Every structure is written in structure tokens, then in C-alpha cells.
């Protein structure tokens, strides 16, 4: 019993340390840029020894990849929750948008990092991140396919529409990051409903179809 309890506590401590390092890396990468940031500066930000970082991550690239994977996994978990809730198509899209924009507002440094590194980094990061992005786009496409099958959405190419919605959201997020905070926050707050309405009006099946 003691050994099992010790194992549970040790595993929790390990996960807590790993998450603290990830969060510190986001702050350091956002301030200094990935290329200029050092493992030492990340360790200092996290309050751990440099060796502790290498206990969890192979190198700086591996740490950045882990940050991306954790974020995308949380988004996929949310999509799976919605799948189980069996909400109407329009509600699913709006909740998906609300989740994205609320995450971006709550973790602006991470949103900035995700946007910048996704478009400027290549190699291992791109190889690991592109499949995760495709997973989100495919899940959106599944929502649209269900809407077509149920007669709520007009015939269309779900994959094309899903990719367009994904890209539109990324563009709006980039504009928000670069814009004046007071103006951008107001737009961001309205974005989920407005985008869901825009998409729904364009995709809704009319009576004569």
C-alpha cells in the first residue's frame, strides 16, 4: 500500500513538474523567441534545475513539440466531448469556436507562440503538428457530414468547408494578437456567434433543395 501510494505521488509530482516546465517554456519562448531562448532560461523560469528539463524532454525542439501536442490534445478532447453530447450542428460549431477563442484569450502568450512557430518552424515540428491540425479539421468535417446526412446542411464538400473555417479562425486569431487590445477583445468576444451564424447561413439547407 505504501509503495503504491508513493508511486502515485511520485507520478503526480513528475507530471506537475513537466507541466510547470511547459508553461515556463511558453513564457520564455514568447518573450525571447524560440531560437534565442536557452534551456537555462527556461529552467530558471520554471524554478527547476537544467537537468530536470532533460529528464522530461530530449531537447528544446522536443519541449516546443510537447507544448503544441498538449494544446492540440486538449482541443481534440473537447471535440470528443461534443461528439458524445450529440448537439445540433450549429451549436457544435459555435461551441467549438467559443472554446478556441476563450483558450486564446486566457492564454495569449501560448496563442502567439502557436501562431508564430506554426508558420515559421519546419522539420520535426511541422512533421508532428500537421497531423494534429488535420485531426481537428477532420473532426469539423465529421460534424458537417452529420449535418448533411440529417438534412440540416446543403450538399457540400465537408473537408473544404472545414479547412476554410479552420483557416478563418487562425487568421482572426492572428489579427487579434497584432491588434489594439481594447478593439480586438470586443471583436474576439463576438466572433464565435458571428462566425457560426455566417457559416450556418451559407450552409443551411433551404426548403427547395
CATH assignment of the domain containing 22: 1.10.10.60
Answer yes or no: is 39 within a domain. yes
Q: What is the mean pLDDT of the chain?
A: 85
The answer as to whether 208 is a domain residue is no
Would 152 be classed as within a structural domain?
yes
In order, the DSSP letters of 18-68 are HHHHHHHHHHHHHHH-TTT--HHHHHHHHTS-HHHHHHH-SSHHHHHHHHH
Report pLDDT for 33.
Answer: 86
Are residues 97 and 192 part of one domain?
yes
The CATH number covering residue 113 comes to 1.10.357.10
Does 150 reside within a domain?
Answer: yes
pLDDT, average across residues 130-136: 88
Per the structure block, which three cell numbers stand in for 27? 513564457
Do 4 and 106 lie in a common domain? no
Boundary residue ending a domain (20, 38, 57): 57
Does 36 share its domain with 65? no
Residue 93 has pLDDT above 50, yes or no: yes
Out of 15, 37, 57, pick the residue that ends a domain: 57
Q: Mean pLDDT throughout 12-21?
A: 86
Same domain, 15 and 117: no
Both 10 and 92 in one domain: the answer is: no
In the structure, what pLDDT confidence band is assigned to residue 27 with cuts at 50, 70 and 90? very high
Residues 111 and 162 in one domain: yes
Q: Do 139 and 189 sit in the same domain of this protein?
A: yes
- Quick check: is 78 in a domain? yes
Per-residue pLDDT of 38-92, as tens digits, reads 999 999 999 999 999 999 999 998 998 899 889 888 988 998 888 877 888 889 9
197: enclosing H helix or E strand: helix 181-203
Give residue 9's pLDDT. Answer: 40
3-state secondary structure (DSSP) of residue 5: helix
- Return the higher-pLDDT residue of 138 and 82: 138
Give the sign of the dihedral formed by CA 29, CA 30, CA 35, CA 40.
negative
Same domain for 99 and 124?
Answer: yes
Range of the domain at 154: 58-203
177 and 83 co-located in one domain = yes
Q: What is the DSSP string of 58-104?
A: SSHHHHHHHHHHHHHHHHHHHHHHHHHHT--HHHHHHHHHHHHHHHH
Is residue 209 assigned to a domain?
Answer: no
So what's the pLDDT on residue 4? Answer: 53
User: Of the residues 12, 39, 57, which one is the last residue of a structural domain?
Assistant: 57
67 part of a folded domain: yes
Residue 13 forms part of a structural domain: yes
Per the structure, how many domains does the chain have? 2
177 and 154 in a single domain? The answer is yes
pLDDT level of residue 209 (50, 70, 90 thresholds): low
Same domain, 143 and 178: yes
Residues 49 and 76 in one domain: no
Amino acid at each position: 500500500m505504501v509503495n503504491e501510494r508513493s508511486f502515485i505521488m511520485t507520478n503526480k509530482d513528475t507530471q506537475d513538474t513537466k507541466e510547470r516546465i511547459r508553461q515556463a517554456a511558453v513564457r520564455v519562448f514568447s518573450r525571447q523567441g524560440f531560437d534565442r531562448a536557452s534551456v537555462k532560461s527556461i529552467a530558471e523560469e520554471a524554478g527547476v534545475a537544467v537537468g530536470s528539463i532533460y529528464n522530461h524532454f530530449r531537447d528544446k525542439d522536443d519541449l516546443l513539440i510537447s507544448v503544441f501536442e498538449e494544446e492540440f490534445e486538449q482541443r481534440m478532447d473537447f471535440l470528443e466531448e461534443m461528439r458524445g453530447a450529440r448537439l445540433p450542428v450549429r451549436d457544435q460549431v459555435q461551441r467549438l469556436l467559443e472554446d478556441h477563442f476563450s483558450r486564446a484569450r486566457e492564454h495569449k502568450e501560448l496563442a502567439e507562440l502557436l501562431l508564430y512557430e506554426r508558420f515559421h518552424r519546419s522539420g520535426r515540428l511541422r512533421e508532428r503538428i500537421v497531423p494534429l491540425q488535420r485531426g481537428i479539421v477532420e473532426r469539423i468535417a465529421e460534424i458537417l457530414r452529420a449535418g448533411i446526412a440529417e438534412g440540416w446542411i446543403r450538399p457540400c464538400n465537408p473537408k473544404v468547408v472545414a479547412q476554410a473555417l479552420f483557416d478563418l479562425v487562425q487568421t482572426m486569431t492572428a489579427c487579434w494578437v497584432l491588434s489594439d487590445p481594447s478593439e480586438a477583445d470586443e471583436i474576439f468576444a463576438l466572433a464565435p456567434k458571428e462566425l457560426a451564424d455566417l457559416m450556418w447561413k451559407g450552409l443551411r439547407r433551404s426548403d427547395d433543395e
